[in-house]
Structure 1
Amino acid sequence: MATHPDNLRARLEERADLLEGTRLRYRALHKLLRAFFWKDRVRTNLELLREVALAQPQVDATLESVARRAEAEGWPAGSAPMKLLAEVNRLREAIAWTVERRLIAKKKPELLGEALLKLEEEVLDAGPLLGRRLWAQAVEILPRNLTELRAACAAAEVLERVFKRPSPEGALPFDAAEVDELRRALPLADEALAALWARLDRFDGTGRVRAFLEKGMKRAPVHPPRSGPELLHHAAFWRDLARARLKALLESRLSPVVPREEEWPELLGWLVEREGPAQARLTASEVLSEGRAGLLEVAAELAALSRARPVGPWNEEAAWVRLWTAAQRARSETGPDAERLRESLRLFIRLRGQGQIPARLFSPERNTLVPPGSGQAGSEPEDLPGLVQRAREAAGRPREGRVSG
């Protein structure tokens, strides 16, 4: 039984909105492509061209699905949905024919969406008219609906939310849930921004547009971004700020070891876990070997012992046990980071603390040079566990045997 025309639009469901929106965009794009100065018109409306191109696979699938359903159910030819379907198909064919004429490439894409993106490349390759300003060129090269620009903005939203708010001194600026967001946002921002700069280099042979945009990248955005270059500026600023803040945070928490960038994702989560009473250990992984994880644990414990006295209860003996246990994991580690840790421990042995007050290792009020000839300077062991044990003894505690876990 044929469906009543009044119910046909309801049968289309959300596909009616897609087809009506497509009809409006097709009409506007067809008018641009038929204009006498069509390249200039397209250059100033690249967002429309890209929107049509990116939606084309979904539009094609919808047109085919609706046509099959209309034939199977016998929809009347004069009904509103059938008229809509016919007009969208007519405009699609007209745009496809015009795009094929406008393309210069000998090998032209078969799919309309790919042909539109190829036309965008040719228009941008042709370059702007003489006298065009750099900002106008940047707006044309970076339309707001670029997939990479949307990805960069999504990552920047996370980074801005985490690093824009104030945080107490010495506290981590993020929690465990936000660490997972940062792990996804940082590589996403890096990849998206790299693709955007590559696009600028691709369509700006002189390099003037990129140089122009890079000048303002270190300044904080002063108003909500609207154009493509402003969105790039916003994303690049917060990516750079986040990386600088994270680098400074890791250096302060793990000095004198210098964390590698590929270690950042695992270290951020571990630092959050260390804030709890359990004092979580750093687990070895594909990125972190057992010895490297132990080395970073030693650095974290040393950095914690070197800061001012903590607020609230603190067990100094437990801190020394954790330090010695971590040193056992890192016993076989070599290289600049391991040597810097040994030098830090040797320095403490020479600047031993006073009395029995459980103050921090390198607090200035506790540093006293070891008297010459005391027998301690110059006789330190070379392995990390031995240096930790000697540092523990130099902290002013009586000799009670080796620290053990």
Structure 2
Amino acid sequence: MATRPDDLRARLEDRADLLEATRLRYRALKGVLESFFWKDRLRNHFELLREVATVQPEVDATLAALKRRSEVEGWPRDTGPVKLMLDVSRLREAVDRAARRRLSGAGADAAPVTLGEALLRLETEVLDAGPLLGGRVWAQAVELLPRNLPELRAACAAGEVFERVFKRPVTEGAPAFSEDEARELARALPLGAASLVALWERLERYDSRGRVKDFLQRRMRRAPMRVPRSGPELLLHAAFWHDVARVRVRAVLEAELAPVVPREAELPALLSWHAARASQPELRLECGDAFTEGRAGLVEAAAALAALSRERPRGAWSEETAWARLEQAAQRARTEEGPEVEALRDALRLFVLLRGQARTPARLFSPGSAKPAALDVGGTRDLLALVQAARHAALRQGG
């Protein structure tokens, strides 16, 4: 009994939509590649070329699977699904021939194996050949930054996170972001940074005079006033919110870690740690690519001292736990040296001075505005000894 066309269509499932969309793309791309001024036309259709190249592995797998199935089950050749499959296969071969014909003969030993590779190499050759379409810099930027670049999509995804978190007004005294948002920011910051680096490198590669990059970088600090649509607008939008996120995140972390200043590469790890500490105050900062053991201990000690300086823990057990945590961090950071370590020593000496002589809250002073006298810890350089002296002074003041 013959299989009805509707049944065949149902067997294709969502692959029918993929093949129909691919057929439309193939027809458009075939017309571009076979035209007389094909380079000029292709510069206007880089997004189409990349769409075809991106889905090509899935299309090839779908065509191969459907061909095997149609042969095994004996699908009639006059049905719509079979005609669709044959039409897409024919157009694929035509696009493949046209793309390989347009590729230069250089590097024939490393000829692209798949159609997707051939299309991406063709894009590179057209951009390398120049000149860029149009005399205006913005037209060149649109040409160099198609909206479906993977790096641009990644930068936009990160930018959406930054905009959602930092666009809203912040109430004075309220946290800049929640724990969940801190985790999102920790994932988005490295993604956005890597994507933007790749996009700027792309501009440098294809615009040897650097006019496009300079043009965009002069405008990247302007707040976006409308919904971005073109590739350059998407880049400017992502770059603006990435800068906003870096500045705001750094300000929050610097306030919590003073006098230690977080480094650029440390921001994602510190954000994750910051979010986790809200529910796990005892959580240690893991050393790894961003932190050495001593650096991690220094950051932990700065955070613990800042918390103790802001307010005294409630309850004897909480206070003992907080000081024990600071001592463990100081022990971990004993081998660390540098200006930030010396600044932390000064902060501990100031803590001892203020808590040992008066009841003035330490948060009202800073090492920059009130230099501590030497007292009995003036010559002490050991972090652990300074922490123990600060603990003794605080407990003595509390009575």
Please indicate the TM-score interval, normalised by the length of the shorter structure: 0.7 to 0.9
Structure 1 vs Structure 2: percent identity of aligned residues?
58
Determine if the alignment matches structure 1 residue 205 to structure 2 residue 204.
Answer: no
- Residue 114 of structure 1 aligns to a residue whose secondary structure is helix
Q: Give the total of aligned pairs.
A: 391
- Residue 362 of structure 2 aligns to a residue whose secondary structure is coil
> Which whole-Å deviations, capped at 9, do the CAs of 1:13-32 have from their partners, x for residues lacking one?
11111111111111111111
- Residue 22 of structure 2 aligns to a residue whose secondary structure is helix
For 2:17, the equivalent position in structure 1 comes to 17
State the alpha-carbon separation in 2 of the partners of residues 305 and 146 from structure 1.
Answer: 48
For 1:191, the equivalent position in structure 2 comes to 194
For 1:285, the equivalent position in structure 2 comes to 287
Runs of 5+ unmatched residues, structure 2: none
State the alpha-carbon separation in 1 of the partners of residues 6 and 217 from structure 2.
Answer: 57
RMSD: 3.1
Q: Which amino acid aligns with 2:10?
A: A
> Which whole-Å deviations, capped at 9, do the CAs of 1:46-71 have from their partners, x for residues lacking one?
11111111111111111111111111
Determine if the alignment matches structure 1 residue 179 to structure 2 residue 178.
Answer: no
State the alpha-carbon separation in 2 of the partners of residues 273 and 18 from structure 1.
Answer: 43
TM-score scaled by structure 1? 0.85
Confirm or deny: 8 A CA contact 1:380 1:387 kept in the other structure.
no
Q: CA deviation at 1:294?
A: 3.1
Pick aligned residue for 2:263 from 234, 243, 260: 260
Of 192-201 and 264-273, the range deviating more from structure 2: 264-273
- Residue 158 of structure 2 aligns to a residue whose secondary structure is helix
Of 7-16 and 327-336, the range deviating more from structure 2: 327-336
Of 34-43 and 123-132, the range deviating more from structure 2: 123-132
For 1:112, the equivalent position in structure 2 comes to 115
State the alpha-carbon separation in 2 of the partners of residues 16 and 369 from structure 1.
Answer: 75
Pick aligned residue for 2:219 from 204, 216, 220: 216
> Which whole-Å deviations, capped at 9, do the CAs of 1:269-293 have from their partners, x for residues lacking one?
33234445x6324244335455433
- Residue 153 of structure 1 aligns to a residue whose secondary structure is helix
Q: 1:314 to 1:159 in 2, by over 3 A?
A: farther
Of 93-102 and 174-183, the range deviating more from structure 2: 174-183
State the alpha-carbon separation in 2 of the partners of residues 368 and 87 from structure 1.
Answer: 81
> Which whole-Å deviations, capped at 9, do the CAs of 1:179-236 have from their partners, x for residues lacking one?
3322221111122111111111121121111111111111111111111111111111
Q: 1:394 to 1:25 in 2, by over 3 A?
A: same
State the alpha-carbon separation in 2 of the partners of residues 228 and 398 from structure 1.
Answer: 62
User: Which structure has the greater CA radius of gyration?
Assistant: 1
Q: CA deviation at 1:145?
A: 0.8
State the alpha-carbon separation in 1 of the partners of residues 132 and 259 from structure 2.
Answer: 55
- Residue 258 of structure 1 aligns to a residue whose secondary structure is coil
Q: 1:379 to 1:191 in 2, by over 3 A?
A: closer
Confirm or deny: 8 A CA contact 1:327 1:384 kept in the other structure.
yes
Of 175-184 and 11-20, the range deviating more from structure 2: 175-184
Determine if the alignment matches structure 1 residue 229 to structure 2 residue 228.
Answer: no
Query: Which structure 2 residues correspond to residues 309-324 of structure 1 after superposition, within 5 A?
Result: 317-318=319-320, 322-324=325-327
Q: 1:10 to 1:325 in 2, by over 3 A?
A: closer
State the alpha-carbon separation in 1 of the partners of residues 19 and 383 from structure 2.
Answer: 70
- Residue 243 of structure 2 aligns to a residue whose secondary structure is helix
For 1:386, the equivalent position in structure 2 comes to 385
Of 203-212 and 159-168, the range deviating more from structure 2: 159-168
State the alpha-carbon separation in 2 of the partners of residues 140 and 51 from structure 1.
Answer: 15
Confirm or deny: 8 A CA contact 1:273 1:280 kept in the other structure.
no
Query: Which structure 2 residues correspond to residues 18-167 of structure 1 after superposition, within 5 A?
Result: 18-106=18-106, 107=108, 108-128=111-131, 132-167=135-170
Q: 1:77 to 1:189 in 2, by over 3 A?
A: same
